[in-house]
Amino acid sequence: MQEIIIGIGVTAFAGALAAMAGAAEDTESNIGSQGDPNSQVQLAPQMGYTHRIYNKAVSGEPPAYTLWVTLACGIAWAFTMLHVNAMLAIIFGTVLATFVQGIYATTAYLGRTASLSKFGQPVFIDVLKSVTTVTMAHAFVAILTTVAACYLMSTMLQHPFALPLLGIVWGLALGAAGSATGNPYYGKERQYQNQKFGAGVPISASGNIVRYAEAGQRSSIDNGFFTAKFGGPASGLCFGLIVFLELWRTVLFEHSLDNWGAVGWGAVIVGALIIVLFMIIDRYVEIWARTNYGPYTAEA
């Protein structure tokens, strides 16, 4: 019984850490402009719209976060093997991974922006100075919380995978969840705030991203400020739910059907029920949107 209670506590804590990680990951990727919406940041100067938006698509978010989280997990694991305090080891690993992220961000911004010089896009050194550190700070939060959640899974919940292997699994899932949920909000809603609300961006408008703020030119930090109100929390909820429910169904229900001879099947059945529940919610959301928003109508 005590084991289950500790398991539930750890599950809740890991879920909360994952929610923070998802929110920080999405905000980091929007401030740094990583992932699919960055295609528009890269395209804009080619269409004649020079801008001051950061441009650091090192790679897709999932492989990038796999690298950073695994790096941090690997270093933390090595330090714990040397009997360094676990919390310190996780922080050491995260700090180093954050510096790697900073180096990638700097080289990506300089390289990508320099490649646009023939379209008249300048490299802004003040943008590099002001934005890089902000993305690094958000990356630090995302990496630290993910590594801490992995550490809990490895030590408290006795998952068979070693910490670096868990880093690969959850780093990739973090990037996948964050980019899937957060990208449309940054790409459609923020970059194309000048387009109609409640409709997709026409392909003909590609590249015409919003470049001016209330006062002066828009900065990438403004984008983080905007997306942190919806895209970030939604990504956090997404990754938090993934981690929480994956652990919860196993910790609480794995042996619930053992007395009926179905050893271990409890977690599987609960997982299947949760999937069906999410399907019903999704269908409700779809019908709600169709009835409340109605069909697309062109502007008169």
Partner 1 sequence: MSAIAAKPGAAAGAFQPVASLIAIFFAIIFIGTAYWLLGSFGCLAVEALIGIIIGAALIAFGVHFVPVGGAPAAMGQSPGIATGVAMLATGAGLAGLFGGAWAAHIGLWVALAGGAIGGGLMMAITCLMVNISYVYGMGIPAASGKVEKDPITGDSQPEYKSQGTEGHGLPFISYVGGVFGGLLGGLGGTLIYIELLNFYNVILLPTSEGTNALAVGLAGIFAIGMFLVIAVLSAYNITGTIEGPHDPKFKRFPRAIVAAICASGICGLVALLVVAIF
- Map the footprint of partner 1 across residues 173-232, applying CB under 8 A: 173, 175-177, 179-189, 191-192, 197-206, 230-231
CB 86 within 8 A of CB 139: no
Nearer to partner 1, 26 or 91 (CB): 26
String marking each residue 25-64 x if it binds partner 1 according to CB under 8 A: ----------xxx-xx-------------------xxxx-
- Map the footprint of partner 1 across residues 153-172, applying CB under 8 A: 159-162, 165-166, 168-170, 172
**How many residues bind partner 1, per CB under 8 A?**
82
- Map the footprint of partner 1 across residues 262-281, applying CB under 8 A: 263-265, 267-268, 271-272, 274-275, 278-279, 281
- Smallest gap from residue 129 Cβ to partner 1 (A): 28
- Map the footprint of partner 1 across residues 236-265, applying CB under 8 A: 237-238, 241-242, 245-246, 249-250, 254, 263-265
Residue 235 contacts partner 1 per CB under 8 A: yes
CB 211 within 8 A of CB 52: yes
Nearer to partner 1, 213 or 285 (CB): 285
- Map the footprint of partner 1 across residues 58-97, applying CB under 8 A: 60-63
- Smallest gap from residue 35 Cβ to partner 1 (A): 7
- Map the footprint of partner 1 across residues 120-139, applying CB under 8 A: none
- Smallest gap from residue 180 Cβ to partner 1 (A): 5
Nearer to partner 1, 216 or 295 (CB): 295
